[in-house]
């Protein structure tokens, strides 16, 4: 897939939406995560709608809730919006308690369409890779950055793998499983 005008518009929109946002641990500009997730989606056969949704997968949750939802739908269409909504674990402020929010997301993921599962798996794969890298660098202090702490964060990533596994194996799911297993190995 060669990125078209819609993709370039989504890239610009995502960069502007997340311009001031940084990753939790190392202050990396958040757009780096969005680009990494998009690359993983494209490397695993994602189409333009899935790539656009990968760029925008955290937009509703982190950058404006309902107003952002409406703008994504108007600018990029119902297919992209459906994927982004499927990847959103909360769109309310304040967010529900962490464990409750994650359990609700996992329940929705069980019945999610393949496009949602693709973007979600790519997101979690990039997150696990970053967690393992940061854990090697920071040690146990890493867990202070996450509401679920060590146990909750590991539980959640294992549960995502288990939930996605119900739909059968994929190369991306295999990569995610290996990343979660590595995270388990390096987590003190």
Residue positions annotated with a catalytic role:
61-62
Q: Report helix, strand or coil for 29.
A: strand
Residue 8: exposed, middle, or buried by beta-carbon count in 10 A (0-12, 13-18, 19+)? exposed
Residue with tokens 């189409």: 47
Query: How far apart (Å, rounded) are the C-alpha atoms in residues 109 and 96?
Result: 18
CA angle (119, 145, 59) in 5-degree steps: 35
């Amino acid at each position: 897939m060669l990125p078209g005008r819609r993709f370039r518009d989504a890239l610009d929109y995502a960069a502007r939406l997340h311009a001031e946002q940084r990753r939790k641990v190392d202050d990396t500009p958040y757009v780096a995560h969005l680009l990494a997730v998009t690359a993983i989606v494209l490397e695993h056969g994602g189409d333009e709608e899935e790539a656009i949704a990968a760029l925008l997968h955290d937009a509703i949750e982190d950058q404006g809730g309902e107003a952002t939802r409406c703008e994504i739908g108007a600018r990029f269409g119902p297919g992209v919006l459906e994927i982004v909504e499927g990847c959103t674990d909360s769109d309310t402020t304040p967010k529900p308690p962490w464990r409750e929010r994650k359990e609700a997301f996992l329940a929705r993921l069980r019945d999610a369409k393949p496009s949602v599962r693709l973007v979600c798996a790519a997101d979690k794969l990039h997150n696990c890779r970053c967690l393992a890298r940061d854990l090697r660098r920071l040690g146990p202090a890493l867990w202070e950055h996450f509401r679920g702490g060590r146990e909750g964060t590991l539980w959640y990533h294992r549960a995502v793998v288990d939930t996605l596994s119900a739909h059968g194996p994929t190369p991306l799911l295999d990569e995610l499983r290996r990343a979660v297993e590595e995270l388990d190995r390096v987590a003190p």
